[in-house]
């Protein structure tokens, strides 16, 4: 170590009393100042970039919840629209099968194989694709006089019900309330359900679907009570002949 009146320590050395040499500190500050004077843009750029990173993180933390809410909201809207379009097509197909006797005429032309509730349910389920649909009361009545809002009876989450009824009464309590072939392979209706009175001429038959759609977004779930009942229906007039 050099000695003298103006003795300086190396950058990585300390005095025995662990005090930092003022000369060393002054030397380092002077070096940084010289670099800043000779390269002012570099120093300013470093400070600017550090400030921008901090500001960007703060802004992202503020807008991230909003972006996530919008993203999942768009997904829920798309799912709901898909279910509605699919169910409406399924209801149309079910009603078409219920009234079209020509699809069930015996090839020999001697007898008619009239459509049944089971045929309608099969056609609806095939066109509903991913939706799970059941027939608790295949020929009604439709709960709450046909209005799902406020109804105490609703399908389970992400599943639905099929009703084949008359086209006049809202709750499906009139007759005729089914295709000419009757229930088909479906079991007999349980307590509280209507018995089937098949159409025989050109009466109107209505196919109604209720689907309990459950959104994914928690905020939307709270807003709609954790469910949205999607309804679809189709009314066709029978084309039977004796």
Digit-by-digit pLDDT tens for the chain (242 residues) are 444 444 555 545 545 555 555 666 565 666 665 665 555 555 555 555 556 666 777 777 788 888 888 888 898 899 999 999 999 999 999 999 999 876 555 556 566 678 999 999 999 999 998 889 998 899 999 999 999 998 999 999 999 999 999 999 999 999 999 999 899 888 888 899 999 999 988 999 999 999 999 998 887 888 788 899 999 999 999 988 65
User: How much is the pLDDT for 110?
Assistant: 60
User: How much is the pLDDT for 40?
Assistant: 54
What are the extents of the domains in the chain? 60-237
User: How much is the pLDDT for 196?
Assistant: 94
Q: Can you give the length of the chain in residues?
A: 242
213: nearest Cα among 71, 82, 68 = 82
Count of H-run helices and E-run strands, the chain: 4, 4
Element (H, E) at 9: none
User: How much is the pLDDT for 192?
Assistant: 92
Contact 140, 194 (CB under 8 A): yes
| Beta pairing, strands 204-213 & 132-134 | unpaired
Residue 195: count of CB within 10 angstroms of its CB: 11
User: How much is the pLDDT for 80?
Assistant: 92
| Beta pairing, strands 159-166 & 132-134 | parallel
The whole-angstrom separation of Cα 126 and Cα 12 is 81
pTM: 0.72
Burial 143-164 (b: 16+ CB within 10 A, else e): beebebeeeeebbeeebbbbbb
């Amino acid at each position: 170590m050099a000695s003298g009146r103006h003795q300086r320590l190396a950058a990585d050395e300390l005095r025995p009393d662990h005090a930092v040499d003022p000369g060393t500190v002054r030397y380092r500050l002077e070096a940084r100042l010289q670099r800043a004077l000779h390269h002012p843009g570099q120093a300013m750029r470093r400070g600017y970039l550090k400030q921008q990173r901090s500001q960007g993180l703060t802004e992202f933390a503020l807008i991230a919840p909003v972006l996530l809410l919008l993203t999942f909201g768009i997904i829920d809207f798309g799912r709901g629209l898909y279910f509605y379009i699919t169910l409406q097509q399924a209801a149309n197909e079910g009603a078409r099968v219920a009234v079209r006797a020509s699809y069930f005429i015996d090839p020999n032309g001697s007898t008619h194989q009239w459509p049944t509730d089971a045929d309608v349910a099969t056609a609806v389920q095939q066109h509903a694709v991913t939706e799970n649909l059941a027939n608790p009361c295949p020929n009604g009545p439709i709960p709450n006089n046909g209005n799902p809002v406020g109804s105490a009876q609703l399908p389970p989450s992400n599943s639905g019900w099929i009703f084949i009824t008359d086209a006049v009464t809202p709750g499906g309590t009139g007759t005729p309330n089914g295709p000419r072939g009757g229930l088909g392979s479906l079991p007999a209706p349980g307590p509280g359900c209507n018995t089937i009175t098949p159409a025989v001429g050109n009466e109107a038959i209505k196919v109604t679907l209720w689907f309990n759609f459950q959104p994914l977004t928690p905020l939307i779930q709270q807003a709609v009570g954790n469910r949205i009942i999607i309804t679809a229906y189709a009314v066709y007039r029978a084309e039977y002949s004796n």
